[in-house]
């Protein structure tokens, strides 16, 4: 024992009692409860009867008495109140047993939280693309070089350069799968500025058949290799129409099939927002459905005059979150001249100097204003976003498509 003055020992006992909500039980050699005190209510030990069998009143003692050894400790036992306690047993020579309860709920909860976080960190999913295998191999090599303290700085620098080359290859691949702007029979143009080398946005458009033109934009949560590969995979799926039993002229069917093909638990806990529309030029009819994506903006009128701006609203859960989700399909007849803008939230969710964010209504107002001759609305919005954000990369990917009729 520590050879401490009584005043210090008493102070320590008071501190332990205050922090640990100490409670005690005394059980005689006949296993009857003869005394109890402390913070019994804290542990849900109420209405105890002295003289009665201790195990009948406190199931936590069942099978532990008489003590096989003393002192004896059971760690992190759940109490009737839901609290967690360390249970200490001390036996006297006359058969009396003292039971002390010390609250360790905070430590137990923290340990469980650490375990849960450790479990979450182990949830990894396979990457199907050959490119990610190369990147992971390069990254593994880099980490291995760090752990093993590679033979020289030159070798470590070489590994780093190889990884950067792979990242540049990945960035080129992401950009290579994007479609070229088109001018006939109507114009489609776009601006794409990822916030990092590899962003989470992708998009595409193509003719489903002679009468139906599909246009779509995908925004995967997060940035980096995982988000970039998933967004490219989804875009490739739409471009190649690789969803079985799906009519790619029906947006609601397409999103439901995407949601079934890309559940987040099989893709690194990543989910995505998607807007998918199908335009029929002869009828001027646009069918569309949305999976948690910002509403596109339709401008009616010529670019050199103030236009009427309308948000084509829709609703539906993000891709990968809700199994077996169903999506609502809407349609709108577009009258020429008109321009349709499809974009990710990074095109307008820009922080102002006062900390507030631009909203969809601000973007609508910006687009509705007359454009000077020779200036594109796409460049106008991008310049405004950069001016408002200030120096450095934008916080999120800037992606905007424009379909001009």
Same domain (yes/no): 210, 358 = yes
269 and 390 inside one domain: yes
Same domain, 154 and 54: no
213 and 326 in a single domain? The answer is yes
pLDDT at 131: 60
The verdict on 255 and 324 lying in the same domain is: yes
Taking the C-alpha atoms of residue 165 and residue 290, their distance in angstroms, rounded to an integer, is 36
Neighbours of 42 (CB within 10 A): 18
d(CA 88, CA 99): 6
Residues 258 and 229 in one domain: yes
* Whole-number pLDDT of residue 177: 83
Q: Which two tokens stand for residue 333?
A: 């007849």
Query: What confidence score (pLDDT) does residue 253 get?
Result: 97
Does the pLDDT of residue 138 top 70, yes or no? no
Residues 60 and 151 in one domain: no
Question: Is 147 in the same domain as 257?
Answer: no
**Domains: count for the chain:** 3
**What is the mean predicted confidence (pLDDT) over 260-284?**
95
For the ranges 33-42, 135-144, 147-156, 193-202, the lowest mean pLDDT is seen at 147-156
**Same domain for 156 and 270?**
no
Helices (H), 52-152: 54-57, 105-121, 130-147
CB 261, CB 272: distance < 8 Å: no
End position of a domain, from candidates 120, 141, 168: 168
With cut-offs at 50, 70 and 90, classify the pLDDT of residue 276: very high
Q: Tell whether the model's pLDDT for residue 55 goes beyond 60.
A: yes
More confident residue, 224 or 277: 277
Question: Which of helix, strand or coil describes residue 256?
Answer: helix
**Scanning the structure block, which residue is given the tokens 């169903």?**
326
Q: Is the pLDDT of residue 173 over 80?
A: no
Q: Which residue range is the domain that position 135 belongs to? A: 130-168
Helix (H) or strand (E) holding 175: helix 153-176
Least confident of 155-169, 244-258, 391-405: 155-169
Give the total residue count for the chain: 405
**Residue 243 pLDDT > 80:** yes
Strands 338-343 and 285-291: unpaired
Same domain, 270 and 138: no
Q: Residue 353: what are its φ and ψ, rounded to 5°? A: -60, -30
Selection from 188, 217, 220, 83 nearest residue 404 by Cα: 188
- How open is the CA angle 238-232-322, to the nearest 5 degrees? 70
Tokens 């309308």 belong to residue: 310
**Residues 203, 86 share a domain:** no
Residue 282 belongs to some domain of the structure: yes
> Is the domain of 144 the same as that of 210?
no
Other C-beta atoms closer than 10 Å to the C-beta of 231 total 27
Residue 199 burial (CB < 10 Å; 0-12/13-18/19+)?
buried
Task: Give all strands of the β-sheet with 308-311 in edge-to-edge order.
Answer: 187-193, 398-404, 338-343, 297-300, 308-311
Residue 173: inside a domain: no
In the prediction, which pLDDT does 163 show? 56
DSSP string over 363-394: HHHHHHSPPPTT--HHHHHHHHHHHHH-SS--
Q: How far apart are CA 33 and CA 180, in angstroms?
A: 84
Residues 333-341, mean pLDDT to the nearest whole number = 94
Instruction: Give pLDDT tens digits for 2-25.
Output: 677 877 777 777 777 777 889 899
Residue 125 falls inside a structural domain: no
Q: Domain with 238 in it: what CATH number?
A: 3.60.40.10
Q: Is the pLDDT of residue 127 over 70?
A: no
Q: Cβ atoms within 10 A of the Cβ of 242, count?
A: 11
Domain presence at residue 174: no
Give the residue ranges of DSSP H helices in 201-307.
Answer: 225-239, 251-261
| Residue 70 φ/ψ region, left for φ over 0, alpha for ψ in the -120 to 50 degree band, beta for the rest | beta
Residue 374 lies in a domain: yes
Instruction: Find the mean pLDDT for residues 169-187.
Output: 84
| Distance of alpha carbon 256 from alpha carbon 364, whole angstroms | 29
Given this model, what pLDDT does residue 155 score?
Answer: 73
How does DSSP assign 44-65, residue by residue? Answer: T--S--TTSBHHHH-GGGTTT-
- By the 8 A CB rule, do 62 and 99 touch? no
């Amino acid at each position: 024992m520590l050879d401490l003055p009584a005043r210090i020992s008493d102070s320590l006992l008071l501190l332990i009692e205050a922090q640990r909500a100490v409670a005690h039980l005394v059980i005689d050699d006949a296993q009857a409860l003869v005394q109890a005190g402390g913070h019994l209510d804290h542990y849900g030990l109420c209405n105890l009867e002295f003289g009665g069998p201790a195990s009948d009143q406190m199931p936590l003692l069942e099978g532990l008495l008489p003590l096989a050894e003393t002192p004896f400790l059971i760690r992190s036992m759940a109490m009737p109140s839901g609290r967690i306690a360390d249970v200490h047993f001390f036996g006297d020579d006359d058969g009396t047993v003292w039971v002390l309860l010390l609250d360790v709920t905070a430590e137990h909860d923290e340990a469980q939280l650490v375990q849960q976080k450790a479990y979450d960190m182990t949830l990894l999913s396979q990457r199907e693309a050959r490119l990610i295998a190369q990147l992971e191999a390069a990254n593994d090599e880099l980490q291995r070089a760090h752990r093993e303290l590679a033979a020289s700085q030159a070798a470590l620098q070489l590994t780093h350069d190889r990884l950067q080359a792979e990242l540049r290859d990945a960035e080129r691949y992401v950009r290579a799968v994007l479609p070229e702007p088109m001018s006939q029979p109507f114009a489609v143009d776009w601006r794409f500025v990822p916030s990092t080398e590899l962003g989470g946005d992708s998009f595409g458009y193509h003719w489903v058949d002679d009468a139906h033109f599909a246009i779509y934009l995908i925004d995967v949560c997060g940035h980096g290799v995982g988000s970039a590969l998933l967004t490219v995979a989804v875009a490739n799926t739409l471009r190649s129409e690789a969803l079985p039993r799906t009519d790619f002229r029906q947006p609601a069917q397409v999103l439901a099939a995407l949601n079934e093909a890309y559940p987040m638990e099989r893709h690194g806990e990543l989910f995505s927002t998607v807007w998918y529309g199908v335009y029929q030029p002869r009828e001027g009819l646009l069918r569309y459905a949305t999976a948690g994506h910002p509403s596109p903006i339709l401008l009616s009128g010529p670019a050199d005059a103030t236009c009427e701006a309308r948000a084509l609203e829709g609703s539906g859960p993000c891709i990968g979150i809700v199994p077996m989700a169903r999506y609502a399909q809407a349609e709108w007849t577009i009258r020429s001249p008109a321009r349709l803008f499809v974009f990710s939230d990074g095109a307008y969710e820009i922080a102002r100097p006062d900390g507030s964010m631009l909203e969809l209504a601000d973007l609508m107002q910006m687009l509705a204003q007359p454009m000077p001759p020779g200036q594109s609305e796409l460049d106008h919005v991008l310049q405004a976003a950069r001016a408002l954000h200030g120096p450095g990369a934008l916080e999120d990917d800037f992606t905007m498509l424009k379909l001009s009729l």
